Structure 1
């Protein structure tokens, strides 16, 4: 007998009126006022940057250059990778693509290639090989004696250029954040290298990543990177080619500082309930952006100063995550449908690789039958005596914060914020016949 299935069915059959007949406050669609999107000519910017990089390296003609690509759902990643491959070809190099994502893709070469395909990064689209392997070689050791493992295909090449978004890290508040340095140190080592980097705990990641980058740079493996900076709506605001000295150096720090200034955030410092429709590895390494939630939940790492959210619910796992629900422990309540989509081995491998970063985030939240039960339970448990006073916000994901559904008790705060505008009339929260989340209003 499959006991786990019995438990899930028992949860689905709870049938409890969690609000005892009370109604949630009405909510209204709120949008951010935004500046026009930046116009970035990927081919021109990347082409110029790669030319300068090639000149600084004495030319790239005839050299086999790996292009490292990760697992995040970056809006323009396929176009930027294509521009990078094209620019390298113009310099006479022989580029090929490698997954640079540590233990993601279920820690299998085929799984990592599939993740890249989901992002539009394929041999057919780029006209160059996509070489996925989990094999590594021992490149050397850091000054403190930690072994540096490197993807075998990269080790056999004449160097690597990594392509990644730079932004504040979800595990720590370091000044070079998440981006080129992290991908070089963690992503290029596959599961073996990623495990080693995380072994000292997330609080030590800035130091360990810097040491790994130094080894890669000194060995002549890391040639540089192509950085993508996105605005608060997930649109590309800047693309920059960074040389090897700039990775984990001043150039990347400047880019992360700009990314931090543009980073999406909730416009409220105190919430009772945050409803997140979807989580996933393509959205954030932690499934949901911890900087948005105001939760790191890692031993030894200080918590962010805000926002303060009493209860977080999440309701779906993206298909691109392929069952990897790493970060699910950042939520307080989830529906049974999400749990049914979780691949525990993939999730736990990622958690184990992350060390202290996966310790608390891999815990299962409270599981209830439907979306309705989850939201109602969060409203009941958030510390607000009167349900109609609950300060609730609903978002599609922590990556998509351009519009949100906001409960009426927050409308005074909306009116006081010039960056927000009310786009609809308040409407009651009416769940579907099976307790599913209401559809988003389309105006």
Structure 2
């Protein structure tokens, strides 16, 4: 249901109005390393076969964690894992493990999994969702560590998550297996408790919490997934409990070497077609934009004068966390926000800036024109504009002719079209390239 923010539209005076010509845009192909898995099921089976004798799993009830991120190839990874556990005569089931996402309720988290095609029918195992937690361990300063009650009542937990750079902090361990354990499986209470340390301390909080929890739980194995710059699985690793702490930093380093970037260092206006929780924890990845909502140092990106965000992905279910890092947005996006989901997520993470609403324009065209007219440029026709679909898909982007003229200085990029006009429909909506 659409909310009623800015009902009736937005009206104000803009010098010269919104009627002006826009620069032409050129399609550009950016090239990144593209190691990828051609046969995900085969790689998954290989990793599982390399584990210790699985006969000890017979009869065990095992909770498999699944988070809220969109992960390439996740369905075959889960299906092969479930088939392996069934072959060992274990009893696997899935536990949504996403902290406060899905509006911090059990039904919302199941709905997020379903949006990725992960259902009881597709997985052929139960999905058991609850916000109930139990106190499992304690941090050095006395802060309790909580884990999902259903998972803790099982005989063991199979951690499964993407290992990647985090959107809010930098460290030897960021987003991956340990974060899934202490934040994702902590549900709303556990995630909220740890986030009160602040992201500026997460470089030690996540490893410390993870190590303490590993001493208290049974994890027969964990599955780490590493993606390349094209949002494709490039590696899968099955790690036994004793090796998780040592292995995760190595795989994070591998992931960091394979992230996509915008290769143009100086941008007047960045247009982002869509943001969402399936794209990044902050909707648009600060590892690409250089703008973390946490304010923590260590993020690098292009110099961007103004960022325009036009829409939310369907898979984000109205959670627009990250929109606060934009400068301009649209009425359609704001009215599609689920403020309950967004505010719950931002409050849990302690990153309130990510849920602030930027300046709102009535249409996509107005948003782009406004950003150009308020950026520090004298001639719109010479503006340096980059237009991307989202911060995951950066192999093909659009740039204005001013930037296209600089393409010879960027070895990993090339122009692949003639200059093209921006196209808008009758309602001012930007048409995809």
Q: Name the TM tier (shorter chain).
A: over 0.9
Shift in Å at residue 18 of structure 1? 5.8
Q: Please, which of 168, 171, 176 is the counterpart of residue 179 of structure 1?
A: 176
- Answering whether residue 320 of structure 2 is matched by residue 321 of structure 1, we say no
- What is the number of residues matched between the two proteins? 431
1:180-329 equivalences under 5 Å are: 180-247=177-244, 249-299=245-295, 301-302=296-297, 304-329=299-324
| CA 92–20 in structure 1, closer or farther in 2 if over 3 Å, else same | closer
Q: In 2, distance between residues paired with 1:154 and 1:128?
A: 15
Q: In 2, distance between residues paired with 1:21 and 1:6?
A: 25
Shift in Å at residue 19 of structure 1? 5.8
Q: In 1, distance between residues paired with 2:48 and 2:194?
A: 29
1:383-422 equivalences under 5 Å are: 383-422=376-415
| CA 438–43 in structure 1, closer or farther in 2 if over 3 Å, else same | closer
Counterpart in the other structure of 1:97: 94
| CA 147–417 in structure 1, closer or farther in 2 if over 3 Å, else same | same
Counterpart in the other structure of 1:352: 347
Gaps of 5+ in 1: none
Q: Is the 8 A contact 1:54 1:60 kept in 2?
A: no
The CA deviation string for residues 227-285 of structure 1, in whole angstroms up to 9 with x for no partner, is 111111111111111222333x2311111111111101111122111100011111111
Q: Please, which of 413, 427, 431 is the counterpart of residue 434 of structure 1?
A: 427
Q: Is the 8 A contact 2:65 2:94 kept in 1?
A: yes
Gaps of 5+ in 2: none
Shift in Å at residue 17 of structure 1? 7.1
Q: In 2, distance between residues paired with 1:319 and 1:420?
A: 30
| CA 217–58 in structure 1, closer or farther in 2 if over 3 Å, else same | farther
Q: In 1, distance between residues paired with 2:171 and 2:5?
A: 45
Shift in Å at residue 206 of structure 1? 2.4
Shift in Å at residue 34 of structure 1? 5.3
Q: Is the 8 A contact 2:40 2:73 kept in 1?
A: no
State TM-score, norm by structure 2.
Answer: 0.94
State TM-score, norm by structure 1.
Answer: 0.92
1:136-151 equivalences under 5 Å are: 136-151=133-148
The CA deviation string for residues 300-343 of structure 1, in whole angstroms up to 9 with x for no partner, is x2152332111111111111111111111011110000001001
Q: In 2, distance between residues paired with 1:142 and 1:407?
A: 51
Counterpart in the other structure of 2:330: 335
1:12-91 equivalences under 5 Å are: 13-14=11-12, 21-33=19-31, 38-55=36-53, 59-91=56-88
Q: Is the 8 A contact 1:40 1:239 kept in 2?
A: no
Q: Is the 8 A contact 1:225 1:244 kept in 2?
A: yes
Q: In 1, distance between residues paired with 2:20 and 2:298?
A: 34
Q: CA RMSD in A?
A: 2.0
